[in-house]
Structures are given as structure tokens and as C-alpha cells.
Amino acid sequence: MSDLPTQHDDQDEDDFGPNEGSGIEFLVEDVDFKVAEAEELTSWIERVAEVHEYEIVQLTYIFCSDEYLHKINVEYLDHDTYTDVITFDNADDADMIEGDIFISVERVRENAVTHGVSFRDELHRVMIHGVLHLLGYADKDLLSQTAMRKKEDDCLLLRTF
């Protein structure tokens, strides 16, 4: 989405930027957060795309605060609610992944506690949830939410780290 915020906090590309030859990058907005295992995450996300026969052209993760994501939710989606993830699909081709995935680090931390899982596992679930939306999966009703959760679990099993 071309009108999305583009200003990003200064960051060390070794910690967050795109991996060599990868179309995946990790950015941070208005939160103190460092992406752990960036190389492994990139490989895992690429593996998920390959399994679904998609190619990643450009995938940007933006880790942010609840307030930052809430503002995007109101401004771009007209939803006055807090959420853990918002995905914008920018792809022109059906078998290509090109998009932005905004993730509230605060909401992921809260959800991890609520669901009794580690922050790492909940973060990975939310990250791959965004990718699944870019692959065409929906979660608007109970049936599709159940299918989405199953796909998330399947994708989490593809992690090798």
C-alpha cells in the first residue's frame, strides 16, 4: 500500500535489514525490539512460500506498538480495534508474495501470556499468519479461523531452529 508510513527508526542492517539475496526485511517502529534469529526466520518463511509454490518478491515486517498498529487499523481499514497483525497485499501476480506485515509487539506479548505460550512461538505464529493471508488464506468466520490455525501449526512445524 503506497500511502503507508515509510519513516523507520535507524537500525543496523545486520540485525534487521534484508538478508543477502532475500526479499524479506525486518523493520521496527516506535518500540524497543530486536529481531532474533533473522536469518533462520528468513529461511523458514521462504520455505513456507516454496511449499505453497509462491515466490517472495518483497516482504516487509514492521514491528511496532499497539498504538502505532491501532492508528493504521483506523486510518487504512476503518477498524477502531487493537490487533496483533495487519497484512497489506501489494502483489500483482497470484503466485508472488509482495506485501507489508505490521505486528504489534505489545499485543504479541499479551497474547503469549494469555495463551500460555512463549513470546517466540506466539511471534512466529503471528508472523506466519500474515504470510498465510498473502497466500490467500482468510479468517473471517469460525470455519476459516480453524483452518487458518491448522495452517499456522503446519507452518510452525517447518521451523528448523
Which strands form 96-104's sheet, in the order they lie side by side? 24-28, 55-64, 96-104, 85-89
Residue 139 in marked binding region = yes
For the chain, what is the radius of gyration of the CA atoms?
15
Residue 78 in marked binding region = no
Give CA–CA dist 161/149, Å, rounded. Answer: 21
Nearest to 89 by CA among 128, 133, 126: 133
Residue 8 in marked binding region = no
Angle CA 56–3–110, to nearest 5: 70
Residue 5 CA neighbour count, 13 Å, CB half: 20
Do 134 and 86 form a contact (C-beta atoms < 8 A)?
Answer: no
Query: What are the Cα distances from residue 97, in Å, to 16, 46, 50, 68, 122?
Result: 19, 10, 11, 24, 22
Annotated binding residues for Zn(2+), written as ranges, equal 129, 133, 139
Annotated binding residues, written as ranges, equal 129, 133, 139
